[in-house]
Amino acid sequence: MVLNLRVMAPNRMVWNSEAWEIVSSTNSGQIGILSNHAPLLTALDMGVLKIRHDGQWSAMAPMGGFAMIENNQVTILVNEAERATEIDPDEALRAFQMAQADSAKAKGKKRVIEANLTFKRAKARLEASNAT
């Protein structure tokens, strides 16, 4: 049995297809989703979303959101997401390195929070680009 997966951002449908398995980052850790999963509503964290379909894995980098699982339907609403195939690995590495350096030298609460969010986003994009 398969899952019907929809990943939606405010400006586009990022994914709308069947999947055999889904692995996602939530605010309390990673979650694996297979067919007949118990109903669940959970907040998603910035990280890598992995999707197994057609005998292969695909990845994307969602930037937070929510997932609802019910009756083999998985609906994921995200603020923004990029498929791994849309991410330039070299650019993602450069952005990660810059964010890492900015995070290390950030001063003041507001700047530290902003730098950490930028770092988390860059890390998710880099990991997604390397996941395929």
Average pLDDT score over the chain: 94
Express each pLDDT in 29-81 by its tens digit.
999 999 999 999 999 999 999 999 988 999 999 998 999 999 999 999 999 99
Residues 91 and 76 reside in one and the same domain: no
Q: Flag whether pLDDT at 1 surpasses 80.
A: no
Residues 44 and 34 reside in one and the same domain: yes
Express each pLDDT in 91-121 by its tens digit.
999 999 999 999 999 999 999 999 999 999 9
Of the CA atoms within 13 Å of residue 98, those in its CB half-sphere come to 9
Could you give the CA distance from residue 43 to residue 41 in angstroms, rounded to a whole number?
7
Instruction: Output the pTM of the full model.
Output: 0.88
Residue 105 lies in domain = 85-130
Q: What is the CATH number of the domain that holds 23?
A: 2.60.15.10
Of the CA atoms within 13 Å of residue 21, those in its CB half-sphere come to 8
pLDDT at 132: 60
Residues 28 and 10 reside in one and the same domain: yes
Residues 94 and 49 reside in one and the same domain: no
Residues 63 and 38 reside in one and the same domain: yes
Residues 6 or more apart from 91 whose CB is under 8 A from it?
none
Residues 79 and 105 reside in one and the same domain: no
Residue 123 structure tokens: 């890390």
Please report which helix (H) or strand (E) contains residue 101, including its range.
Answer: helix 89-105
Please count the structural domains in the chain: 2
